[in-house]
Structure 1
Amino acid sequence: MNKKHSKTRPLVSETDVLTTEHEAVTEARQELIDEIKETADKLSRDGATTGDLKILSRALRELRYAFKVFTPYRQHRKVTVFGSARTKDVEPDFVQAEEFGRQMAEEEWMVLTGAGGGIMEAAHRGCGRELAMGVNILLPFEQDANPIINNDPKLVHLKYFFTRKLIFVKEVHAVALFAGGFGTQDEAFETLTLVQTGKRDLMPIVLVDAPDGDYWKGWEEFIKSKLLDKNLISPEDMSLYYRTNDVEDAVEEILNFYSVYNSMRFIKDQLVLRLHVEPPAEFIEKLNDNFSDILLSGKIERVPTHRFEADDAHLADLPRLGFKFNRRFIGRLRQMVDFINEGLGPLIEDDE
């Protein structure tokens, strides 16, 4: 036996590690598929009604189809645009939405809408067909696909609102809302609720009024007087959205959110923030001084890439901060991300 060789030879090669991680991911996926099959078998044993089975079958088929369409674009930044299907192309809100779509396309973001007319068509006009995605709902009125996205392979047709609303929030990195009816209000409150309760990762939620409009200004006054002043929400919850009358301001809010911050992920009991720049030790001390109230225990500190992040391999080289988040003060977590972006932003500019 060559003892010298045995000393220098690594016990496990990098190829072996990658192979093992790939096998683990494959095994986990197969377990989930087996669980889906087992659930289907249980429906038979439960004697589920035909109506219930139709809902479950259609929902599963819709989501599988939608995930297939969106998978190739998962690493491409996307913004969902909500607003009325009834807005005319001469109205200020339409002009705002079209300009918003154009400016987001200039930043190479894709624009997802409900694929209908009004605000949805305006945003798609702005971004153009190449960067447009659509999730159309099958309704007996109002909701034919607009000519920008119609017959495009990036257009998904769905029967159920709940599957459609899942895609709107799950597959994007920001949400922009323009004036609209019941549906727009529903989407605004649902998005805020999902972020506030931690059911959806942090992302920018921007409310855009027309230049002289007060639609979202009036909405915000209601939020302050009927929710905040009555202690039905916390003051930091007001940080979860941003209101403006200026399209350029709205775009800047979205882009700034991802200037230093990249994404977040829970790994067991630890929340990991991925960043675009390595935070200096003195800055991490400031984070601990200012945001200790959101920690269950321990401190905010640098952490390495975890093996559980194997499915996010494209983010493996990003610096990371990890801490035990109490999972309750989401508004404060948003304030922490803003603090990171503002404090470390100059380091990004220096690199450029």
Structure 2
Amino acid sequence: MDPERIDPTHLPPEAIGDCEMERPHPADEPIEPPAPKRNAKHLLDSMRNAIDRLQKDQTANGDLKILERTLRELRHAFKVFRPYRRRRKVTVFGSARTKPDHPDYQTAVKLGREMAGHGWMVITGAGGGIMEAGHVGAGPDASMGLNIMLPFEQSSNHIIEGDPKLVTMKYFFTRKLMFVKECSAVVCCPGGFGTLDEAMETLTLMQTGKQALLPLVLLDSPGDDYWADLGSFIDKQLLKGGMISPEDTSLYMITDSVEEAIDEVLNFYRVYHSMRYVRDQLVIRLTRPLSAKTMETIQSQYADIVVKGGFCQCQALPEEASEPDLAGLPRLTFQFDRRNLGRLRQLINEINSDEETE
């Protein structure tokens, strides 16, 4: 399938990335131009300035090695993913030790096959077990891999090995960045410490606003309770203990049904498309305008996450002129408090429940 073809899974390149809150600049760093002026030249000049400061700061050789390797890894990963930026992708996490005859493996195969059938690509860690299963289901053309250099376990599976869509990385942090940066959904099958880390980090990034909201599905095989047990722990210890808000449980879904997992992913993009911040406004791009009834519901039931004013439907803002592929999409804008991300996810669910009118 041509990665540049416009189809129902089309995702303009400009929609890739996060929409995190801006942070104050460190006092000893030069202030960069405002966002609308930060074109490629400005960004490259800023990077060169940072490199010059490394020499001035007499940065240790070991630290320079980390920075150099990180930059090389990310540059190569960006290059590999660039031709496929228009295709929505699901990242699949899970154990490298799961055998082909295990129900979890078969569940991941079915998931990969169904998502590829909907035009999506499947990203995994490129190893064996669940990672291999996701690629087996998706097939070579719809598979992308982010391998990690380890002294054990992690060789590329037979589906992705030798494929130009495979990236091998040294650092876990660069690999995890690419997993969430390049995908439109995350599905976690049962796994070990690494899988738990990946699931919880994805959840943390969304809860803190460091990652644009996306569907996060914790998928058990039919009748299993691996993730169900985690859900019980979260409810008993985190929620009951006041460590998270009730709305935070809206940031993920636990199911033992592949069909429910796929519905959760696809329905997330039924009306909602993507989001970004423009100054103090959160701009939600929509695939079509919302009905008057839905707007009335949103205005009355989600006023608690608005700093001031209300919700407004409009066209693309002038500050979005650099995103021509998204110019035709209607917008829902409001001044979000940038804190209640669970409630924001509930708002997206409300948006996606909108019934299309004539």
Letter in 1 for 2:279: K
Q: In the alignment, what sits opposite 2:116?
A: 105
> In structure 2, which of residues 299, 313, 328 is the aligned counterpart of residue 302 of structure 1?
313
- In structure 2, C-alpha distance between the alignment counterparts of 1:92 and 1:281, rounded to whole Å: 46
> In structure 2, which of residues 191, 214, 228 is the aligned counterpart of residue 217 of structure 1?
228
* In the alignment, structure 1 residue 228 sits paired with structure 2 residue 228: no
Please give the residue correspondences for 1:145-156 in structure 2 after superposition, counting only pairs within 5 Å.
145-156=156-167
TM-score with structure 1 length normalisation? 0.90
Which residues of structure 2 form unaligned runs of 5+? 1-34
Greater CA drift, 114-123 or 302-311: 302-311
Deviations 1:28-76 (A, max 9, x none): 2101101111111111111111100000000011111111111121221
> In structure 2, which of residues 302, 325, 346 is the aligned counterpart of residue 335 of structure 1?
346
Please give the residue correspondences for 1:42-61 in structure 2 after superposition, counting only pairs within 5 Å.
42-61=53-72
Q: In the alignment, what sits opposite 1:176?
A: 187
- In structure 2, C-alpha distance between the alignment counterparts of 1:109 and 1:297, rounded to whole Å: 38
- In structure 1, C-alpha distance between the alignment counterparts of 2:38 and 2:248, rounded to whole Å: 40
Q: Give the Å deviation of 1:303.
A: 2.1
* In the alignment, structure 1 residue 188 sits paired with structure 2 residue 208: no
Q: Give the Å deviation of 1:315.
A: 1.6
Q: In the alignment, what sits opposite 1:262?
A: 273
Letter in 2 for 1:291: Y
CA contact (8 A) 2:315 2:329 kept: no
Q: Give the Å deviation of 1:280.
A: 2.7
Letter in 2 for 1:61: R
* In the alignment, structure 1 residue 40 sits paired with structure 2 residue 40: no
Q: In the alignment, what sits opposite 2:11?
A: none
What SS does the corresponding residue of 2:72 show, helix, strand or coil?
A: helix
CA contact (8 A) 2:247 2:342 kept: yes
Deviations 1:67-125 (A, max 9, x none): 11111212210000000000000000000000000000010000000000000000000
Q: In the alignment, what sits opposite 1:85?
A: 96
Letter in 2 for 1:157: T
- In structure 1, C-alpha distance between the alignment counterparts of 2:323 and 2:41, rounded to whole Å: 19
Q: In the alignment, what sits opposite 1:17?
A: none
Closer, same or farther in 2 for the Cα pair 1:284/1:119, shift >3 Å? same
- In structure 2, C-alpha distance between the alignment counterparts of 1:298 and 1:25, rounded to whole Å: 24
Query: Where do 4+ consecutive residues of structure 1 move more than 3 Å?
Result: 24-27
- In structure 1, C-alpha distance between the alignment counterparts of 2:39 and 2:324, rounded to whole Å: 17
Letter in 1 for 2:70: A
Q: Give the Å deviation of 1:278.
A: 1.0
Higher helix share: 1
What SS does the corresponding residue of 1:296 show, helix, strand or coil?
A: coil
- In structure 2, C-alpha distance between the alignment counterparts of 1:313 and 1:65, rounded to whole Å: 26
Please give the residue correspondences for 1:282-297 in structure 2 after superposition, counting only pairs within 5 Å.
282-297=293-308
Deviations 1:114-140 (A, max 9, x none): 000000000000000000000000111
Letter in 1 for 2:278: I
> In structure 2, which of residues 326, 334, 344 is the aligned counterpart of residue 315 of structure 1?
326
Q: In the alignment, what sits opposite 2:282?
A: 271
What SS does the corresponding residue of 1:101 show, helix, strand or coil?
A: helix
- In structure 1, C-alpha distance between the alignment counterparts of 2:38 and 2:249, rounded to whole Å: 42
- In structure 2, C-alpha distance between the alignment counterparts of 1:115 and 1:159, rounded to whole Å: 14
- In structure 2, C-alpha distance between the alignment counterparts of 1:250 and 1:281, rounded to whole Å: 30
Q: In the alignment, what sits opposite 2:263?
A: 252
- In structure 1, C-alpha distance between the alignment counterparts of 2:320 and 2:172, rounded to whole Å: 31
TM-score with structure 2 length normalisation? 0.88
- In structure 2, C-alpha distance between the alignment counterparts of 1:164 and 1:337, rounded to whole Å: 28
> In structure 2, which of residues 151, 154, 170 is the aligned counterpart of residue 140 of structure 1?
151
Q: In the alignment, what sits opposite 1:76?
A: 87
Greater Rg, structure 1 or structure 2? 1
- In structure 1, C-alpha distance between the alignment counterparts of 2:321 and 2:154, rounded to whole Å: 40
- In structure 2, C-alpha distance between the alignment counterparts of 1:71 and 1:270, rounded to whole Å: 29
- In structure 2, C-alpha distance between the alignment counterparts of 1:115 and 1:253, rounded to whole Å: 24
Q: Give the Å deviation of 1:27.
A: 6.4
Greater CA drift, 304-313 or 243-252: 304-313
Please give the residue correspondences for 1:201-212 in structure 2 after superposition, counting only pairs within 5 Å.
201-212=212-223
* In the alignment, structure 1 residue 162 sits paired with structure 2 residue 173: yes
What SS does the corresponding residue of 1:134 show, helix, strand or coil?
A: strand
Q: Give the Å deviation of 1:311.
A: 3.8
